[in-house]
Chains A and B, each alone.
Chain A
Amino acid sequence: MACLAIYLPIFAQQGHPLTGTWSGTWGTTPAQRNQVTIVMNWDGKNVTGLINPGPDSIPLSSVSVDYSRWTVHIEANGKDRIVAEGKLEDLGSYHRTITGTWAQGTTKADFKVTRD
């Protein structure tokens, strides 16, 4: 079977570190994972965005950042309330990450997302 190589452009986003699309998983164990996509945008005063863009997307209700430690607090109100606490790492990287805890309803989990 022929293998098709596809080149994807890699553009480091050098503006606000949270702006962009972040993809990864959350779950209670390494084996039980749920795909998640978070889209965030800095408008000059607030970070706005949504979780899992599409018909079942959940708007972010609040995003706050502690710039001294680069920790991120995300809240969203969908069918269940979502609260994610994470640390932004590899700040200058093409593919920086946010890793931390994910609470959805009564479920406590961890998550990791990487900026596309």
Chain B
Amino acid sequence: MKPVAIILAALPLFAQSVATYDSSRAVKLTGVVTRIEWANPHAFLFVNARDTRWAVELGNPIALEHDGWTRNSLHVGDSVNVEGIAARDSTTRVFGKSVILTKTGKKLFTPIPRRAIALAKEPAPRWPDGQVRLGPAPGKKGYWGAASGNALVDNTARKVAMNEEGLLRNLAEVDRVAPFQPWAKAVYEYRQRTLLKDDPLTRCLPPGGPRQFQMPNGFQFVEQRDLGRILLLLGGGNRNWRVIFTDGRPQGQADEVVRSYYGNSVGHWEKDTLVVDVIGFNEHFWFANGGLPHTEALHLTERFTRPDLGTLRYEVTVDDPRTYTRPWTGGWNVPWVPNEEMQEYFCEENVEATLSGKGSYK
């Protein structure tokens, strides 16, 4: 009998930011919807209640639509009851845990139970020459979904507990995350203590490095074997893409490569594993959830292995001698999302601006 893995064909919602919301401050509102903003990374409702205009943050629109909700599930003028948690800055902003349409009592924007898809542990698809395919088999659809790991951690350490955003449950465990140099440890602790408030991702900067594989909207490979390259299309981070050259060219010289968010990638196959060497990163981003620092000296060795149809093993060795005392390795598994195409995602920073009334978002 074949072993069978059960996965739910649903994208996870973005977790509400702990830097923005205080889970200890519950808010209940009853009011009228005046506006619906169906934008990434979070949809918003605007509700007039208690003589005030409230902004109610919901899940990610891609995930909501995946669950069957649309901007038309609710209309301007509808009366709603909202339960949520308040923003830390005491503005009239709420993360909506529950939205109920007053006239019917229907609960909106919650995950709708969906039929689980039984994904047999089938063998990975292969090219005619036997090489593993990283994409779907011919005539099939699918892409790689959300990573099994929330944060990148040195795999020589015991399990380190973190939340979905990479915040340590216990800050005293910081030394087990990675072999930090003293400055890097201090920066990491600062970012953790300040609840990741300065995360460049919240300003819609690209998630370079391993973080591109921690985004909730997934990614897919397009193998252009005749051109000697693999395109990596990223579902999160503004629909970015990356090229992995597999034509045998040597890696560039670190001092000559133009610095970028995704770096300069050259790859080769070692049996069924794609090994990718990446250098040439800039310092404008955090390369993993939780705020791990790096410098331009960052050198990654990524290993992508597909042991079966439904699993991609991602392993990365981090070598940045200006930041860490030794190279270290971490990784996670990524599940295959069958029979679907990756959705469009763009980060729209100015949703934040519209809440403050200072931005140009219309």
Binding site for B on A (CB under 8 A): 11-17, 19, 42-44, 65, 67-68, 70, 91-93
Chain A residue numbers with a CB within 8 Å of B293 are 14-16
Specify the main secondary structure of chain B where it touches its partner.
Answer: loop
A101 CA to B198 CA, complexed, in Å? 28
Identify the closest chain B residue to A70 (Cβ): B186
Of B9-17, B121-129, B269-277, B294-302, the segment with at least 4 beta carbons within 8 Å of chain A is: B294-302
Q: Is the C-beta of B191 less than 8 angstroms from some C-beta in chain A? A: yes
Q: Within the complex, what minimum Cβ distance (angstroms) separates B350 from chain A? A: 16
- List 7 additional A-B contacts (Cβ < 8 Å) besides A14-B286, A14-B293: A12-B198, A13-B283, A14-B283, A15-B296, A16-B322, A19-B283, A92-B190
Let me know if A17 and B198 touch, CB within 8 A: no
A88 CA to B123 CA, complexed, in Å? 55
In the A-B complex, list the 3 residue pairs whose CB atoms are closest, starting with the nearest.
A92-B198, A44-B322, A15-B283
Let me know if B183 and A16 touch, CB within 8 A: yes
Chain A residue numbers with a CB within 8 Å of B190 are 91-92
B 309-325 contacts with A by CB, 8 A:
321-323
- Provide 18 A-B residue pairs closer than 8 Å at the C-beta atoms, listed in order of the A residue: A11-B282, A11-B284, A12-B198, A12-B284, A15-B283, A15-B294, A15-B296, A17-B183, A17-B187, A19-B295, A42-B322, A43-B322, A44-B181, A67-B185, A68-B186, A91-B187, A92-B197, A92-B198
- Map CB proximity to A onto B238-266 as digits: 1 under 8 Å, 0 otherwise: 00000000000000000000000000000
Let me know if B284 and A92 touch, CB within 8 A: no
Let me know if A14 and B285 touch, CB within 8 A: yes
Q: Within the complex, what minimum Cβ distance (angstroms) separates B201 from chain A? A: 11
Specify the main secondary structure of chain A where it touches its partner.
Answer: loop
A17 CA to B236 CA, complexed, in Å? 28
Let me know if A16 and B295 touch, CB within 8 A: yes
Let me know if B322 and A67 touch, CB within 8 A: no
Q: Within the complex, what minimum Cβ distance (angstroms) separates B238 from chain A? A: 16
Identify the closest chain A residue to B197 (Cβ): A92
A19 CA to B187 CA, complexed, in Å? 13
Chain B residue numbers with a CB within 8 Å of A17 are 183, 187
Identify the closest chain A residue to B284 (Cβ): A11
Q: Within the complex, what minimum Cβ distance (angstroms) separates A93 from chain B? A: 7
A12 CA to B321 CA, complexed, in Å? 21
Q: Is the C-beta of B182 less than 8 angstroms from some C-beta in chain A? A: yes
